[in-house]
Amino acid sequence: MMSKYLIGKAILVLWLTLIIIAGFAMPMVPSPQQWFELPVIPALEEKARIIFFHVPMAWTTVVAFFASMIYGMLYLKTKNMDYDLRSVSAAGLGTMFCILATITGSIWAKFNWGSFWNWDPRETSIFVLLLIYGAYFALRSALDVEEKRATRAAVYSIIAGVTAPFFIFVMPRIMTGLHPGAKGDEGGSMPVAQLHMPSNMRVVFFASLIGFTLLYFWMFSVKVRSARLEFESQQL
């Protein structure tokens, strides 16, 4: 069992390493002739490489927050504390990936727009989402009774989980802004924002999407085991 776990972890590390190498090392040229050459994207150019990391982080954020919502529902149905541990673990990882997506997006904004933060609809929506989940953890820390904390946190996670896809994927696309894919962005970077990209670029992108998703599930399993041990020690 342990050997399978180590092999799986090694494969995941190798997978992510190859994605990082491909994302940064594959050259961008005006007219690609080789399979390893990426096309120059108008308005983004070399900065288009961020899509291999920033978007998968945002996707993983939604996966984690959705998982937190589902486990919150299961807790309300069964009152099994293990579901509460799973819910808070998923919310914690979702918040971490949300922060990473915000950091990578801010770095991209600095090079593309001249400053790390511009209160673009995309940046504003992510900021609001971080506030929502910051309030989730504040709520949990304010309650001492386990069942009361788990119940109220579960209800909150359901409401918060519904908002996550809207703030990350919907709101930035229906409002005018600087971010690629915003309303009014008809050319330039719009095809990339809609995932209309060359096949080799699409392969790296979806490989990264899979890699970050698997990374989340691995981190989730580790975090849940740690949370269970901490919970059991508190019951002694």
Structural domain includes residue 30: no
Quick one: pLDDT at residue 57?
93
Look at residue 117 in the predicted model and tell me its pLDDT: 83
What average pLDDT is seen over the chain? 84
CB-based burial of residue 82 (10 Å sphere; 0-12 exposed, 13-18 middle, 19+ buried)? middle
Q: Is 152 within 8 Å of 139 (Cβ atoms)?
A: yes
What is the Cα–Cα distance from 160 to 142, expressed in whole angstroms?
18
pLDDT digits (tens, 9 = 90+) for 45-78: 677 788 889 889 999 999 999 999 999 999 999 9
Say if 207 falls within a structural domain.
Answer: yes
Q: Which amino acid is at 1?
A: M
196, 138 in Cβ contact below 8 A?
A: no
Q: Domain of 210?
A: 56-235
For residue range 162-173, what is the model confidence (pLDDT) as tens digits?
A: 988 888 777 766
Chain segment 101-136, per-residue pLDDT in tens: 999 988 888 877 778 888 887 888 889 999 999 999
Please report the sign of the dihedral spanned by the C-alpha atoms of residue 113, residue 114, residue 116, residue 117.
negative
For residues 75-85, give the mean pLDDT.
Answer: 95
pTM attached to this predicted model: 0.86
pLDDT on residue 220? 97
SS3 assignment, position 114: coil
At 138, is the pLDDT very low, low, confident or very high (cuts 50, 70, 90)?
A: very high
Please report whether residue 117 resides in a domain.
yes
In a domain, 33, yes or no: no
Decide: 51 and 150 in contact? Cβ < 8 Å. no
Query: Who wins on pLDDT, 2 or 29?
Result: 29
Q: Is position 29 within any domain? A: no
Is residue 101 in a domain? yes
How far apart, in whole angstroms, are the C-alpha atoms of residue 182 and residue 205?
Answer: 20
- Looking at the domain assignment, is residue 19 inside a domain? no
pLDDT digits (tens, 9 = 90+) for 12-36: 999 999 999 888 888 877 677 776 6
Q: Work out how many domains the chain is built from and give that number.
A: 1
The reply to whether 42 falls in a domain is no
